[in-house]
Amino acid sequence: MSEKHALRPLVLGVTLAMLGQVAQAETLNLQQCVERALSQNPDIEISQAQIGQAQAAVRQAEANHLPKVNLSMTGTYTNDALNAFGLKLSQRQATFGDFGAGEFNPANPTVLSVAPHDLNHPGGMGNINTRIEVLVPVYNGGMVESYVRQARAYTRAAQAGDAHARQMLIKNVLMAYQGVHTARAYVKVAEQAKAAAEEYVRITDRLLQQGMAVKSDVLTAQVHLDDVKLQLARARNTEAAALDQLHLLLGMPLEAPLDVGPEFVPQPLLGEVSELQQKAKDAHPALQALRHQLEGMSANVDVARAGLLPQFNILLRQDWNDKTFGFESSSYTVAGVLSWNAFDAGGTSAAVDRAQAARIETAAKLRQAEEGIQFQVREAQRKAHEADEAVAARRLAVEQAEEAQRLVKKRYENGLATIIELLAAQTQLDKAQADLVAARYEQVVQRAELKRAVGLLSVEQL
């Protein structure tokens, strides 16, 4: 066999191994899921873009403190009498002849009424004006400073909003991550129920052969098995949906192979409700965002009020005028411009009133949010405690249902119980196990919700 043919099995084996690695699902633990979500989730990209917009607004507002420099070049060609003469003056080319000196005749008694033809009917005049203009802001009633304060406040609000969005995303990732485990626990419960139902079908069929059961018992056991198979299919669909939800939160394509690491149960958040409420009031990012928005609204009131005050700016201008491109006929202009909107039919005052109303609205929203957060913390703590108690109760219920099912099964095998009693005991056990799975999931959700309500939800705090 040639060397070329000898290499084919090796190449094929390496290729299959690589394809196997590609198809293998990527397993991520909770921390890795959260980190990926925080770096790829569209909600975080949106909040980061909002921060970028706010920061750009700060730079834009601060730029109004500095002089503005404008460069321009304007080409003009006209035979308008006034403009043509003005362009000649700008080019330093005006002569006595332009005033009709050649047509002046002292001997003519009506000479003063003679209209100079060249002055009134000039030919076409071309000019290229090159200009550098500098506008220096001196005083604007505090408008620029207010714009800067407003932009900085909105930047802090956007940053607090980003922190709030991150906490919400962490909670959603945790719910989806644990939701996969919960769905798999349901699958396991359903598989155990299916195995038990299949065994009941075999036991009932054997008892029928021994004359200890009737045909209807076998049919009842078979119907129960079919129902359990349907529950198993639903549980598997729930697992697939939970994985799809996790894909979306992580910003991954739905077809990308993904698996989750070990289960994760957050540590309980300890403390009296009053202490947790105070922490939430001080540090909750949603409240911080509203407080910074209120600062921005207050600055906006000052912006509107600045329109009632005078403004003073300095203008510096350098011009060059020539028939062609060049820097001939240089001239400069220095001007101080004082302006004051003395009367605008109440438009500026209305803008002040509008800004004040918006600030009052935001202040009311802040008070409402603070009260809402206080309620959320109290309610979340209650539900977290309730979820912990539910897990303990469900564990006990499973132990009791397992013992009851064991006893009824033994009685049925000895002909002392009916198939209905056996299936009822098994159904109770299945329900107790499913309730325990649900209670564990609820415990994870409520512990995370309490930390989110307090404003302390992070990977480190989980």
Task: Tell me the domains of the chain and their CATH numbers.
Answer: 30-66+142-454 (1.20.1600.10), 68-139 (no CATH)
Alpha-carbon distance of 92 to 323, in angstroms, equals 11
Residue 2 has pLDDT above 70, yes or no: no
Residue 6 has pLDDT above 80, yes or no: no
At residue 20, the pLDDT reads 45
Instruction: Give percent of the chain above pLDDT 70.
Output: 95
Residue owning tokens 């001939």: 328
pLDDT category of residue 26 using cuts at 50, 70 and 90: confident
Q: Average pLDDT for residues 54-61, to the nearest whole number?
A: 94
At residue 24, the pLDDT reads 65
Alpha-carbon distance of 352 to 339, in angstroms, equals 19
220-235 pLDDT, tens digit per residue, is: 889 989 998 999 999 9
Per mean pLDDT, which of 143-157, 198-212, 404-418 is the most reliable? 143-157
What's the mean per-residue pLDDT of the chain?
88
Q: Average pLDDT for residues 149-163, to the nearest whole number?
A: 95
350-362 pLDDT, tens digit per residue, is: 999 999 999 999 9
At residue 143, the pLDDT reads 93
Q: Which is nearest to 29 in space by CA: 181, 241, 167?
A: 181
At residue 76, the pLDDT reads 95
Alpha-carbon distance of 107 to 100, in angstroms, equals 16
Alpha-carbon distance of 37 to 462, in angstroms, equals 16
Q: Average pLDDT for residues 17-21, to the nearest whole number?
A: 43
Q: Average pLDDT for residues 27-49, to the nearest whole number?
A: 91
Residue 270 has pLDDT above 50, yes or no: yes
pLDDT category of residue 9 using cuts at 50, 70 and 90: very low
Alpha-carbon distance of 29 to 333, in angstroms, equals 70
Residue 3 has pLDDT above 60, yes or no: no
Q: Average pLDDT for residues 296-300, to the nearest whole number?
A: 96
More confident residue, 1 or 162: 162
At residue 300, the pLDDT reads 95
Residue 461 has pLDDT above 80, yes or no: no
pLDDT category of residue 14 using cuts at 50, 70 and 90: very low
Residue 197 has pLDDT above 90, yes or no: no
- Min mean pLDDT across 103-117, 141-155, 392-406, 412-426 is at 103-117
Residue 10 has pLDDT above 70, yes or no: no
Q: Average pLDDT for residues 28-56, to the nearest whole number?
A: 92
